[in-house]
Amino acid sequence: MNPLKNSVPNAVYGLFAYGFLLLPSLLFAALIWERWVVGNLYICTDVDFDILEIFPPFVHQGTGDVYLVPAWEVWLVWSSLMLGVLALPAPLIWYVWRREVDYDA
């Protein structure tokens, strides 16, 4: 019997992998946001690094930024995208947590 098998539960590996995959998920969501939302649902003129437009607030007062649709629609799309960011790596936790690792082999 290997002592490492009992010292670190599989859930820890799953949580580590989940945290590791959140960054690529957020990057993917930022690219989707930049490609399909910015310019179609609102216009922001004062952000220097476009990929950062995924972080609220989307429209800044006194800068010429405008919503092209009602603000709640932009927030609904953003909330759905963030829910997807959090849910995308979640199956990995389930897989690693439920997996039986045989260290004796």
46-92 tens-digit pLDDT: 777 778 889 998 888 888 889 999 999 999 999 999 999 999 888 87
To the nearest 10°, report the CA torsion of 37, 25, 54, 42.
Answer: 10
pLDDT at residue 31 tops 70: yes
32 DSSP assignment: H
Produce one character per residue of 90-99: b if its CB has 16 or more CB atoms within 10 Å, e if not: eebbeebbee
**pTM to 2 decimal places:** 0.77
Higher-pLDDT residue of 9, 54: 54
Higher-pLDDT residue of 44, 95: 44
What gap in Å lies between CA 58 and CA 71, rounded to an integer?
Answer: 9
